[in-house]
Amino acid sequence: MTRKLFIVALLLIAGVLIFINKGGDEAPYHSFHGNIFGTRYKVQYQAHKKLHKKLGLTPNQLKQQVENEFQRIDNIASSWKADSEISRFNRSAAKDDFRLSKELSEIIALSEEVKASTDGAFDIHYRGNEIDVSAIAKGYAVDRICDYLGEELHIDAFLVDIGGEIKAKGKNAKGKLWTVAIYIPPSHAHVKGPHVELSDTSIATSGQYFKPDHIKQAGHGISNDLLSSSVIHPSNATADALATALFVMGSEAGLAWAKEHKIRAIFIKTDGTVIETMGAKR
């Protein structure tokens, strides 16, 4: 091969490689983050070339739509806001006459289902007839945002994370399943936490280092051998509630319940032992 032909061949190969690399850039991933529900959130999504134009939304406008929905749910379910719907409900003397929103009705209904199925390990009721849905609200918000991105905007791939309650659809920017690591607090840095692959499903984790007040209210005061419990489930609201319930049960009863109900769960004990039902890898 002559020197000229060799150079031409190299240029052609380089051109093919550039074309291949550009092909992966045709659907870049956008991300944004912020604060909500007293914690951090992050949203990543795949944006095809004309996605924002087709939607009539700039990336900043899409972020604002998401944050507006977060705020709307917070104004319904926050026990910290005196003027939230749930706070007004708790102050109401005639609760049977209180008109609940569709969202709070759904949250309460799911909470009661989980309470029944876990023999009361998850319970939103406290101080008589008051309720606190903090142990399920973040998961519910994750589901709502995912419905908005997937069903309303028809985005093919995304991940929504609110303080460790995570739901994903499709694949990440590398064309692989979304992989998330279960948080291990610095006090247990020696523990090798599991990694979980997600696509069209979600994960939620409960632990004393995440939301102790929520867990104590949902379980009415607990003391057991668990550092955390995680549940993988298509519904993040369900995963959120079940993760709390399993934490309240403790490793032995929680594992037995998860196996009986065919729930994907991961338990990390205070001694560093990791127990998994199915679907997790390290």
Establish whether 244 is an annotated binding residue.
Answer: yes
Which residues lie below 8 Å from residue 241, measured CB to CB, with a gap of 6+?
110, 111, 114, 122, 135, 136, 139
Q: Is the dihedral of CA 243, 34, 140, 38 positive or negative?
A: positive
Give the integer Cα–Cα distance in Å for 282 and 273.
13
Establish whether 240 is an annotated binding residue.
Answer: yes
**CA 218: distance to chain centroid?**
19
Question: E strands within the chain?
Answer: 29-36, 39-46, 125-126, 130-131, 158-162, 165-169, 178-181, 195-198, 201-207, 226-233, 264-269, 274-276
Residue type, 119: D
Residue numbering of the annotated binding site: 135, 240, 244
List, as residue ranges, the binding site for Mg(2+). Answer: 135, 240, 244
